[in-house]
Structures are given as structure tokens and as C-alpha cells.
Chain A
Amino acid sequence: MPFDTAQAYEKHPKVAIRREAFGGLAYHYGNRRLTFLKAPPLVDLVEALGGFPSAAEAIDAHVRPDRRPVYEKALAGLLDSEVIRAR
């Protein structure tokens, strides 16, 4: 299913994130893929997703309005690589 900002998501339970100066590294223990999270706020957003009723609300809480499209696109990519999943 394509990414939908109205949907609730969470970090995939098989994913571990390591923070780095540039953002973070996400490792999926199931598919063994390593994904780069290229901004520190994106790491905060992914970690916090599970606590919000929708992706839109999580993004609102973490990102300036003018940066929203960038983060929506980033989350869509992370859904594809199973760093996050719908809940």
C-alpha cells in the first residue's frame, strides 16, 4: 500500500536505528538492509511515529511546515524499504 499521511505508522519492529552526526543508520534484521536516514530530525520522526494517530500529525510535531513535503517523501521511501510499517 502506498504511503498515506492519514494512516498511522510505526518503526518496523525488526529495525534498529543508530544515530550519527548526519542523521542515522537503520538496519532491518529481517531483510538485512541498511538504510541511511539523512537528517537528524528524520531519526526523531521515525522513532516517534508509533505514538501518533497519523503520519501527518507526527510530521507536524517534528518538522517546519515548509519542510513537510521532503519528510513525506522520505517516509514514503522508508515504507518501501520496510524501515516503517503501517499499524
Chain B
Amino acid sequence: MPADSPAPTLTERFSHGLDAPICLTWELTYACNLACVHCLSSSGRRDPRELSPAEARAVVDELHDMKVFYVNIGGGEPMIRPDFFDLVGYAVERGVGVKFSTNGTMLTPERAARIAGMDYVDVQISLDGTDAGTNDAVRGGGSYSAARRAMDNLAAAGFGPFKISVVVTRQNAGQLDEFRALADSYGAQLRLTRLRPSGRGADTWDDLHPTQAQQRDLYHWLLDHPDTLTGDSFFHLSALGESLPGLNLCGAGRVVCLIDPVGDVYACPFVLHEQFRAGSVRDAGGFASVWRTSELFTELREPQSAGACASCGSYDACQGGCMASKFFTGLPLDGPDPECVHGHGEAALAELAGARLEPLVVPHPGSGHSKTGRRPTEREPVFVTLGRRA
């Protein structure tokens, strides 16, 4: 998040929560025309219970009332929603700035020009390799050229500094300088984020997550390139020494949360799992009530135990790392991050694997809305609206 480095006391205060989130992600749809192997939300098929255009506008009204200054819109592919431009326009009109993430496939020259004409709209194009081979292995055939076309279209439309958003993997960790050069060539900003074992990422994390050596290189690269955007996602690397810029804490339910396409509110974008579902914007009291009074968020704002990390000298720097990464690899939430730079996570994972008599039961995010996956309609009621879309 684009925050100034705050004093430690402020960070402590953030851990108790705020009246409204600083960083809110809103996934508009589970529909997606790609099927990235690390998709956090296992997107693919549209959920029939998706918020209607009127409900989505009501969410914008609430964000306005709560003084949420901007929202990170994602999906799925958000541009698939037929009311995408209406909704973005409405948010901007109400003083809620929009930053949206897209795979770029639908960012035609006409749409690029339309976006360039809007105030307070930022665009983030996802790209996971500086060549088609590396990128398309993760994001699917043709996705590299589609993303580059979208960048060309934004540049031609005079949009200005859009963002190139990269999930750092074992396969692209050696391309950071090339990503940087690509961003520079467009006058764009480079954004690097951490791979999480969430969504379909649960099944690919073992093969994709960076090695310890790559993590160390990344840490130094980030220190050398402090203008790189990270969404504070690599705070677990601060255990390597000097803190990286930003809030060094897990913001889940404290400064961050996620609204999913059907209006469910989760603690962060990486924990789409029942255990971290705080409520729904469709509940009485709406989003504000979920944020301010839900049992889950209240619990997350309590002082957290350092658990197995209490005796580690780096705990103050890394705060035990990412809750979602621990949860989906089967590690206790008060234990080390699976990618702990001191190797405590690897040891804990090995211990977990060695101690098990039964097959290891790890909380699985489920196949969610993957096109090949189990359909949620098998367990949940579906509300079908007959007739034409508004």
C-alpha cells in the first residue's frame, strides 16, 4: 500500500484495526478467460450469485460513506463484467478512486482511450514473465502477447504510468532487471508481489515459489530499487536485515480485507476460505458492520501470539510472516512462514510431513470457480434470475 513509513507505535495501532480499511480489494467477478495456475481466487466460471449492478453500486456508496479513498478491483477478469465501466465511473464520481488489475485481453484501443479519459483510475496489467515462454507457462497460451498489446494500447492512448504487476516465481525471479527495463520502456511502474499457496496456487506453490537464494536476491534487489511497488507483500524478507519500506505486518482484517464477487468479506485477498470469511455485504448492516463488528476481524485485531517464533530474534522484523501462506501449507498460524528466510518454515513443513501417520491434511482452498473444478452449485443454492440482464 502506498503508505509513508510510519513510526512503530503507529504500526502497533494499526494492528488493532481502523474504522475502515486502508487497502480494500474487491473482486468483481469469478469469470475469467484465462486460467492462471496460481490464481488466488481459482477463477474461471462466473458465480450466478454475483452482486448485481445495483448491489455493486450500493457497495460503492458504502465505501464512500466510510471514506475508503480507493479500492483495488480485481477478479477473475473484472473487465468481463458488462457493467465494468459504469461501476468504475460511478466509484470515481463518488470519490472512490479505482485501481484495477486486468490480464489485458479485453483492453482494446477504444477501451484504453476510455480509461485514459477517466480521473482517479489506475490500471495494473498482470505479467509473470518477460518472455512468452515464461509467462504463458503460468498464465496460459497467448497471454503474454495479449498483455503486451494492452500495454501498447494504454501507451498509445496516453494513459500515463500504468503498472505492470508481477507475481515473483522461481521461473521469473531472475528476470527482475528485464521487468524493470520493460516497465521503463513504457514509462510504467513495476509492481512485484508474493506468490501465495492460495486458490489454484495451493496446487502449484511447490513448483513455483522462489528458492531461498532467490528470496535473498529479491530482498537486495528491492532495497536497491525502493520505488518498486510491492503492496508490502514481502515483509517476511525483512528478517534478512534492514526492513523493507512499508508496513511490516500482516494487515488481514486490520488494515486490509477482500470483498469477493458474491459479496462475501474475507480477511485478505489470499484467504478465500470459510475459516477467514467475516460476513457478507448482503448482511444487515452491510460492509461497514462486517468490518467493524465481525467476530473474525475482532479476533484478528487482538494481540497475536508469536508462538514458535517467540524465541527468534527476527520476529519483530517479520512478525511471523503471511497468515495465508501458513494456513494453506498446513502450518500453525502462530508458527513460522513456510518461506521463513531462516529456514524455520521448511523445517516445520518437513516435521509436519515426517510426523504424519495419516496422509497430511492441509486446508485446501478448493477448486472454487475453476472451469474444470467442482461446481459450487453442487453444495449451494443458486439464485437464477430469468430474463435479460440490466
Q: Interface residues, chain A, CB within 8 Å of chain B?
A: 16, 18-22, 25, 27, 29, 32-36, 38, 81
Which of B13-21, B71-79, B136-144, B269-277 lies on the face that meets chain A? B13-21
- CB neighbours (8 Å) of B120 from chain A are 29, 32
Q: What's the Cα separation between A20 and B4 when bound, in Å? A: 16
Name the distance in Å between A30's Cβ and chain B's nearest Cβ.
9
Residues of B within 8 A of A (CB): 1-4, 6-7, 10, 13, 16, 18-20, 22, 67, 69-70, 95, 97, 119-120, 122
B72 nearest CB across to chain A (Å): 12
Q: Tell me whether A18 and B122 are in contact (CB under 8 A).
A: no
Q: Contacting A21 at CB < 8 Å: which of B7, B13, B20, B95?
A: B13
Across-interface contacts of B4 in A (CB, < 8 A):
33-36, 81
Q: A27 and B10 in contact (CB under 8 A), knowing A18-B20, A20-B18, A34-B2?
A: no
Neighbouring B residues of A18 by C-beta, 8 Å: 19-20, 67, 69
Output the nearest chain A residue to B20 by Cβ-Cβ distance.
A18
Q: Are B7 and A34 interface neighbours, CB within 8 A? A: no
Inter-subunit contact B13/A32 (CB<8 Å): no
Q: A16-B67, A16-B95, A29-B120 are in contact. Are A34 and B18 (CB under 8 A)?
A: no
B202 to chain A, nearest CB (A): 32
CB of A9, distance to nearest CB on chain B (Å): 20
Q: Contact: A27 with B6, CB < 8 Å?
A: no
Tell me which residues across on chain B come within 8 A of A81, comparing CB atoms: 4
The docked-state distance in angstroms from the alpha carbon of A38 to that of B3 is: 13
Alpha-carbon gap, A66 to B12, bound state (A): 26
The answer to whether A22 and B1 touch across the interface, beta carbons within 8 angstroms, is: no
Task: List, in ascending order, chain B residues with CB within 8 A of A34's CB.
Answer: 1-4, 22, 69
CB pair B6 A25 closer than 8 Å:
no
CB distance from B188 to the nearest CB of A (A): 15
- Chain B residues touching A, majority SS: loop
- The contact sample of 24 A-B pairs, CB cut-off 8 A, is A16-B67, A16-B69, A16-B95, A18-B69, A20-B19, A21-B18, A22-B13, A25-B18, A25-B22, A27-B69, A27-B70, A27-B97, A29-B69, A29-B120, A32-B120, A33-B4, A34-B1, A34-B2, A34-B3, A34-B69, A36-B6, A38-B6, A38-B7, A81-B4
Q: How far is the CA of A80 from the CA of B48 in the complex (A)?
A: 48
Residues of A within 8 A of B67 (CB): 16, 18
Q: How far is the CA of A2 from the CA of B342 in the complex (A)?
A: 46
A28 vs chain B, min Cβ distance (A): 9
- For the complex of A and B, the 4 pairs showing the least CB-CB separation, nearest first, are A27-B69, A18-B67, A22-B13, A20-B18
With a cutoff of 8 Å between Cβ atoms, the chain A residues found around residue B6 in the complex are 36, 38
Contacts of B95 in A (CB 8 A): 16, 29
- Chain B residue, CB-CB nearest to A81: B4
B18 to chain A: closest residue by CB: A20
Q: Could you say which of A21, A25, A29, A35 contacts B97, with CB atoms under 8 Å apart?
A: A29
List chain B residues, Cβ under 8 A from A20: 18-19
* CB of B160, distance to nearest CB on chain A (Å): 12
User: CA separation between A34 and B18, bound complex, in Å?
Assistant: 15
Does A36 contact B19, Cβ atoms closer than 8 Å? Answer: no
**Which B residues are in CB contact (< 8 Å) with A16?**
67, 69, 95
In the assembled complex, how far is the CB of residue B92 from the closest CB belonging to chain A, in whole angstroms? 10
- B2: nearest chain-A partner, CB-CB: A34
Known pairs A32-B120, A33-B2 / 13 extra A-B pairs, C-beta < 8 Å: A18-B19, A18-B20, A19-B19, A25-B18, A27-B69, A29-B69, A32-B70, A32-B122, A33-B4, A34-B2, A34-B22, A35-B4, A36-B6
Once bound together, how far apart are the Cα atoms of A29 and B13, in whole Å?
25
Take A18-B69, A29-B97 as given contacts and tell me if A38 and B10 are in contact as well, using a CB distance cutoff of 8 Å: yes
